[in-house]
Amino acid sequence: EEAHSVVPFVSANRAAYPALVMCVDTWRASVADAACEAGADLINDAWAGHDPELSAVAGAHGVGYLCAHTGGHPPRTDPHRVRYDDVVAETLADLNRQVDAALAAGVREDGLLIDAGQDFGKNTYHSLQITGQMSALVETGWPVLLAVSNKKFIAETLGLDGRKSDRIIGTLAITAIAAWEGVRMVRAHDVAQTRQVLDMVAGLRTGIPALARRALA
């Protein structure tokens, strides 16, 4: 059923947009294999190696592979009374383990990304701790994906009970800080606003604006 939903979508978009980079989120090696045959460029293993063959599929197809920390606490998205001695250290250790396994399975070195997995196998305290230490992930040397858009820990941190769209300000605040710290990729629901935040951070980093007319004419 998953393959029947995903593969035709990937195939149609590959035909319509040959240069588009497409990522498929799955934990099943069979689905990943079919998606790669259809033209997927990146496999997002959001279940942290639940299917040990998944990374081998990425290696065989020469596509990118995303390692995410999910904590190993079922259910992944709503775990009960999760405990870590040091969530940052344990997240880093698990991601390094996944990276080593992916490399051993043939995933190319320049195709690897890592994701802290906020809200996955973590309560809000944990997600805040790891988000406040994104620089620790950056320091591993692997490209880091920030995937916090509209997540529950943002709502709880800000005391919000309403719509997911109310979480955009918190999302953008995290995005700005993480981009400044060196995160390489951002998963976003609000693309235009996120792009402005990233462009602003880039402007601050480089000192180069998109336009420069004021007081120059």
CATH number of residue 25's parent domain? 3.20.20.20
pLDDT in tens, the chain (217 residues): 788 889 999 999 999 999 999 999 988 899 999 999 999 999 998 777 778 889 999 999 999 999 999 886 565 666 678 889 999 999 999 999 999 999 999 999 999 999 999 999 999 999 999 999 999 999 999 999 999 999 999 999 999 998 899 999 999 999 999 999 999 999 999 999 999 999 999 999 999 999 999 898 7
Residue 165 within any structural domain of the chain: no
Residue 73 within any structural domain of the chain: yes
Going from the C-alpha of 56 to that of each of 29, 59, 69, 70, the distances in angstroms are 8, 5, 18, 20
Residue 129 within any structural domain of the chain: yes
Residue 160 within any structural domain of the chain: no
How far apart are the C-alpha atoms of 94 and 127, rounded to whole Å? 16
Closest CA to 58 of 21, 98, 29: 29
Residue 52 within any structural domain of the chain: yes
Structure tokens given for 102:
């992916």
Structure tokens given for 110:
């320049």
Domain containing 60 equals 2-147
Under 8 Å between Cβ of 134 and 178: yes
Residue 170 within any structural domain of the chain: no
Under 8 Å between Cβ of 121 and 73: yes
In terms of Cβ atoms closer than 10 Å to its own Cβ (0-12, 13-18, 19+), residue 119 is: buried
Structure tokens given for 59:
């290696």
Number of folded domains in the chain?
1
Closest CA to 140 of 124, 169, 116: 116
Q: Tally Cβ neighbours within 10 Å of residue 120.
A: 25
pTM over the 0.85 mark: yes
Classified as helix, coil or strand, 207 is coil
Residue 161 within any structural domain of the chain: no
Residue 190 within any structural domain of the chain: no
- What order do you get walking across the sheet with 144-146 strand by strand? 23-25, 42-45, 64-68, 112-115, 144-146, 185-186
